[in-house]
Amino acid sequence: MIYTLISLLVLFWLVGLVAHVGGGFIHGLLVLALAVFVFDLLTGRRTTI
């Protein structure tokens, strides 16, 4: 589930980067998702949403 969310955020970030629409917001969400992913990876916790 988290990989799907990260993939969608990356896609929206690329669209925002190309079209200059909501780029800052999507960039912030992408950084947040990356931080959560790295934290889960380092702690070894599995989340089921």
Check residue 47 and give its pLDDT: 58
CA distances to 15, 16, 33, 45, 49 from 2, rounded to whole Å, are 20, 21, 8, 13, 8
The domains of the chain are located at: 2-43
Question: 16 — phi, psi (to 5°)?
Answer: -65, -35
pTM for the whole structure: 0.48
pLDDT tens digits, 11-31:
877 777 777 766 677 677 777
For the beta carbon of residue 26, count every other beta carbon within 10 angstroms.
19
Give the sign of the dihedral formed by CA 30, CA 31, CA 36, CA 39. Answer: positive
